[in-house]
Amino acid sequence: MQLFKKAVILACLCFSFSLSAQETPAPNFGKGLFNLVGKDSTWTMRIGARMQILAIANWKESASGDFETQESNMLIRRARLKFDGFAYSPKLKYKLELGLSNRDISGGSIYTGNTPRYILDAVVMWNFHGNWELWFGQTKLPGNIERVISSGNLQQVDRSLLNSRFNIDRDMGVQLRHKTKIGKHFLIREKFAISQGEGRNITAGNYGGHQFTSRIELLPFGAFKSKGEYSGSDLKRENSPKLMIAATYDSNQNAVKNRSNMGSYMETDAGLFQTDINTWFIDGMFKYRGFSFMGEYSDRSAANAIAKNLDGSETGSVVQVGKGINLQSGFLLKNNIEISGRLTKIILDQVITGKVPETQYTVGMSKYIVGHKLKVQSDFSYLDSPGVSNKLMYRLQLDLHF
């Protein structure tokens, strides 16, 4: 037995020495774990990883007006592997992102084969002519700005209530993208998508119609540094004002989920209930010398918002129709500590959904150690819901991205 233990220790030491002897230089921190290039330079692959470790505490207002501890939790909010690069030609790019945490892969059902939903993005992007790109695969639709900003590049711990109520997230389909410049600075970007309308990782087929998404972005002062229009906080400290104003219209024909391609399936005694769901987004981003401001407005409607059985009785499933507004701002100090604030108001149709208006106030503080690649964020939120117990929430999160 002692001889076996010595042999195992010796093997481990030899393996360790072997790894040290074969050490391969890696990219700078935050630029990926590895950057691979084919011998003939016809392909590249950058491999990255990231994780978010989150602690949450919630308090609920009692009948006496005091706030009592409701729950606390610690979890791996996100843990992901990312792969991107080009294949055959720099004009043919790809992106693959896998989710590993419970929150990343949850939501499996009979419509996803009752399996975990590991795949977040699996998309190929072809720059087929000039400023035209054709995307094919599963990825984020060109929806509200807050959703398209990576969860690793957020200004606060997580996205707002507006995003959780109205966003159109990821889907499988085709996207056409174009950009053009007018004059010296004015940049216009157009994005159009045709997708399945069922959300990500659906394996059972298309139950309803299709989803059509159009977005236009206007940048009168030119592009932001390092794609800063899709990144929280003004980490690049723009030395001239930068502004993006955008609008998105999304129409999900014969949708079968209660939040367009998100939420729950609306089931009836005759199968899945289908209705046309339309969503508008108007949003913008402004940055200048450490100051940033982001604003969003959303509006969702449906041709028939109440699911019914064949006999006309209501099933209890309804489309989450209504409106929302989200205003968020922050200022980055010279020591890379940022103070931020957010106001979010959600007004769902109370007659249809039975839900009262919600107003959430959030104050946040972030310390950027290596930009968004290594940061500590915390925020404190107060949720005001008339006729319902108000809530307090505190969150603390560590982000680490390789």
Q: Convert the pLDDT of each residue in 81-95 to its tens digit.
A: 999 999 999 999 999
Averaged pLDDT for residues 349-374: 97
The domain limits of the chain are 28-401
Residue (of 316, 261, 295) closest to 111 by Cα position: 261
Averaged pLDDT for residues 25-46: 85
Which tens digits make up the pLDDT trace of 102-160?
A: 989 888 777 777 778 899 999 999 999 999 999 999 999 999 999 999 999 999 999 99
Q: What angle do CA 211, 102, 168 make, to 5 degrees?
A: 15
Q: Give me the CATH topology for the region 28-401.
A: Porin (2.40.160)
pLDDT band at 14 (very low <50, low <70, confident <90, very high): very low
Q: What percentage of the chain carries pLDDT values higher than 70?
A: 94
Residue (of 127, 132, 128, 76) closest to 102 by Cα position: 76
pLDDT at 24: 55
Give 332: exposed, middle or buried? Use CB within 10 Å, 0-12, 13-18, 19+.
Answer: buried
Range scoring the smallest mean pLDDT among 6-10, 233-237, 304-308: 6-10
* Cβ count near 277 (within 10 Å): 30
Q: Is 212 a residue whose pLDDT tops 50? A: yes
pLDDT at 50: 95
Three-class SS state of 162:
helix
Q: Is 1 a residue whose pLDDT tops 60? A: no
Averaged pLDDT for residues 222-241: 96
* Cβ count near 14 (within 10 Å): 10
Residue (of 1, 112, 95, 9) closest to 46 by Cα position: 95
pLDDT band at 7 (very low <50, low <70, confident <90, very high): very low
CA distance 225 to 154: 16
* Cβ count near 73 (within 10 Å): 9
Q: Is 8 a residue whose pLDDT tops 80? A: no
pLDDT at 25: 65
Averaged pLDDT for residues 200-207: 82
Q: Is 17 a residue whose pLDDT tops 50? A: no
Top-confidence residue, 25 or 214:
214
Top-confidence residue, 18 or 192:
192
pLDDT at 18: 45
Q: Is 9 a residue whose pLDDT tops 60? A: no
Range scoring the smallest mean pLDDT among 38-42, 123-127, 254-258, 298-302: 38-42
Question: Model-level pTM?
Answer: 0.90
Q: Name the token pair of 55.
A: 């602690």
- Specify which of 21-25, 55-59, 110-114 reaches the highest per-range mean pLDDT: 55-59
Averaged pLDDT for residues 7-20: 46
Averaged pLDDT for residues 360-385: 97
Distances (CA, A) of 34 to 22, 26, 29, 297: 14, 6, 11, 40
Residue (of 315, 109, 314) closest to 204 by Cα position: 109
Average pLDDT, the chain: 91
Please enumerate in sequence order all residues whose Cβ is within 8 A of that of 268, keeping only pairs 6 or more positions apart, or say none: 307, 308, 309, 310, 315
